[in-house]
Structure 1
């Protein structure tokens, strides 16, 4: 078999992309597939404050808040920050407060003197919390079990200041929902695996916990208060280390969330996330960018190889199938572990669709309108 110089260069580049791709699969993500799932703690060690911020979330609060108020935990409070709602949230919370002594309401009024937004609401909730250990979730979230707080409580190891949880999206019958859940899966695999590798770089506010003293010691969100998003991932990115961060992936520790129901809403959500990601630490931005670039180059070079000789095409196709086979040995197991078993059979298709969607989203985020808000 004789290959031209151009074919050798392209196939060599394809092989390099494959090697880098497999590094992330076998030496980073495989850690999450192999790590032992934590058992239910024998007892509750410390009191906990759960913080939920919401604006015009009465329907979600009615549906999901009782499951949080009735957690199997002996000493906890639930701080709900009502951020300028006008949909009857205030009246509902006041009624619920008479039935649940562990419910604390924080009300934010319209005022031109402060910067409105989720970070302000979260800060007000943290200030109102009476306990050192804070657990965060959203109004549209429901815990997998009554033992959610038992898993998300402060670990016995005092060095642990941050616990990263996992929050899958509820299943609906649509392509958009499958794509949202698949993207959430890969995001979770990445940040949980890198945390296991000693390089935590983000968490999700739907299921996250950290110490109140850590928040105030680092002046809260002061460093990125001007950014509409990032109350969760930017805080973790700035203050999580290999020594002070733990993860929780047991099924009972997971927090389910309502997904976006429209493409426009999902694109707005991803635009907020993309905007926050630009403020990550340089090493984290490099690693995350490298993953996307390598994936792009892998598919682009493969497509270019299809215009070469038959021999070069056969090698390129073999390289692609080798990549898919290796990935199919790892990710379906992780999909099952992270409560997305139904997506296992669609893995190769969703993997390609997600790649093109992320490329589109990155383009729109760079050249679209810049203004974003949390509500």
Structure 2
């Protein structure tokens, strides 16, 4: 019994460490400051908004002040009734780069956000589209510059990083942990040639790529997926770059209640089933191994204490010790690159919190009914 528990534990720890040592190291040791572009291609920033007046009052001046030689910002106002339209029309003459498109219609055959983004793609004057959301804030006036610098004849897509603002409380800490670990995964997988998602708060791709692949047509009725289902369809091992320059980061306002955060996670889960089989297997194996390691760890600990098997307890300590040392080292290196999103001393607690998170949502996926969701 003791040997079987330990062998199973070592097996699942080995799976986790494979990801850390052969995939996550690509991000940990990825060099910053890479500039592939020989010129500054025209960029259109697309911002979808629904009743976001307060956020637009902060965001639009920041976008208009971006230091880039050739760009425009298209604000796609999706049926807002909070005074957004009046605010934009009163102030648009004060902004050099802002264009305003009011969307008054809603269609059954396509979700509102995907329709808005498609309208923006068609109306854009530049070959490069850079997306963000109304509740986001670029970290610098060189956001467009750093993201666009990664584009060349081979790189059609650029994935950026979008952390959440630091605020007091356990919920905010966990949101930052989950966002950080998700970024570790999608950025590392991209560097390994297995792109499966980006974040719509900070993603860039060529408009030509969008129209060549019929945009969001194949998943037009799916709420969400404009950033991950689309990438699952069009990203290859060679056409996607990542940008982790601090000036390219886009900070987002986090959810402030567990209920709103849970609804957000529901939307994410609803689209993950559309991923390529390869991506679902790779991600499922990683999260499954995470859960199995903790369950087997508790089982081994309990069995060792019950049987007073000190050797088993020592071996358990060695296995978890090696695992945590490797995790800590690589996550600290990546965390420094990603603006110290999570406090390094809380990585152990983060590891356990993610175990609870994966377990809960794994059970939820197996038992849930189809939720009602909106794009915002």
TM, length-normalised to structure 2? 0.94
User: Take 2:247 and 2:107, find their aligned partners in 1: how far apart are those partners?
Assistant: 42
Q: For the residues of structure 1 that align with 2:323 and 2:150, how far apart are their CA atoms?
A: 38
> Within 5 A, what are the aligned runs for 1:217-256?
217-256=212-251
Distance 1:162 1:42 in 2: 13
The structural deviation recorded for 1:188 is 0.6
Partner of 2:199: 204
- Residue 291 of structure 1 is matched in structure 2 by 286
Q: Which residue in 2 is equivalent to 1:349? A: 349
Contact 1:83 / 1:108 at 8 angstroms: preserved in 2? yes
Given that residues 274 and 362 in structure 1 are in contact (C-alpha distance below 8 angstroms), is that contact kept between their aligned partners in structure 2?
Answer: no
Quick one: distance in 1 between partners of 2:200 and 2:341? Answer: 24
Which of these residues, 126, 138, 157, is aligned with residue 152 of structure 2?
157
Q: Which residue of 2 aligns with 1:3?
A: none
Tell whether the 8 Å contact from 1:71 to 1:146 is kept in structure 2 after alignment: yes
Structure 1 consecutive aligned stretches of length 4 or more whose deviation exceeds 6 Å: 40-43
- Residue 167 of structure 1 aligns with which residue? 162
Q: Call closer, same or farther: CA 1:14–1:114 in 2, change over 3 Å.
A: closer
- Give the aligned partner of residue 372 of structure 1: 373
Does structure 1 residue 269 correspond to structure 2 residue 268?
Answer: no
The 1:41/1:16 distance shift into structure 2, 3 A limit, reads closer
Structure-2 residue corresponding to 1:64? 59
- Asked if 2 retains the 8 angstrom alpha-carbon contact of 1:41 and 1:151, the reply is no
Tell me which moved more, 31-40 or 129-138: 31-40
CA distance in 2, matches of 1:272, 1:340: 27
**Are 1:321 and 2:324 an aligned pair?**
no
Kept after mapping to 1: 8 A contact 2:111/2:223: no
Partners of 1:357 and 1:249 lie apart in 2 by 26
Mean alpha-carbon deviation: is it higher for 21-30 or for 113-122? 113-122
Residue 20 in 1 paired to residue 12 in 2?
no
Q: Contact between 1:53 and 1:83, CA under 8 Å: does it hold in 2?
A: yes
For the structure 1 residues 115 and 342, does the alpha-carbon distance in structure 2 shift closer, same or farther, using more than 3 Å as the test?
A: closer
Partner of 2:360 in structure 1? 360
SS in 2 for 1:185: helix
Contact 2:162 2:252 in 1 (8 A): yes
Shift of 1:14: 0.8
- Please say if 1:189 is aligned against 2:184: yes
In structure 2, the gaps of 5 or more residues are none
Secondary structure, counterpart of 1:279 in structure 2: coil
**Residues 191 and 86 (structure 1), Cα distance of their counterparts in 2 relative to 1, 3 Å cut:** same
- Secondary structure (helix, strand or coil) at the match of 2:343 reads helix
> Counterpart of 1:329 in 2: which secondary structure?
helix
The correspondence of residues 65-80 of structure 1 with structure 2, limited to 5 A, is: 65-80=60-75
Displacement after TM superposition at 1:224 (Å): 0.9
Whether contact under 8 Å (1:44, 1:74) holds in the other structure is no
Aligned equivalents of 1:81, 1:64: Cα separation in 2 = 14
Deviation at 1:334, TM superposition (A): 1.2
* Deviation at residue 218 of structure 1 after TM alignment: 0.6
State the alpha-carbon separation in 2 of the partners of residues 260 and 43 from structure 1.
39
Q: Return the alpha-carbon distance in structure 1 between the equivalents of residues 342 and 212 of structure 2.
A: 43
SS of residue paired to 1:98: helix
- 1:152/1:253 contact within 8 Å kept: yes
Secondary structure, aligned partner of 1:137: strand
**Residue 273 of structure 1: CA displacement?**
0.7
Q: Is residue 87 from structure 1 mapped to residue 88 from structure 2 by the alignment?
A: no
CA distance in 2, matches of 1:217, 1:122: 16
- TM-score relative to the length of structure 1: 0.94
Contact 2:77 2:103 in 1 (8 A): yes
Query: Per-residue deviation at 1:354?
Result: 2.1
For the residues of structure 2 that align with 1:112 and 1:190, how far apart are their CA atoms? 35
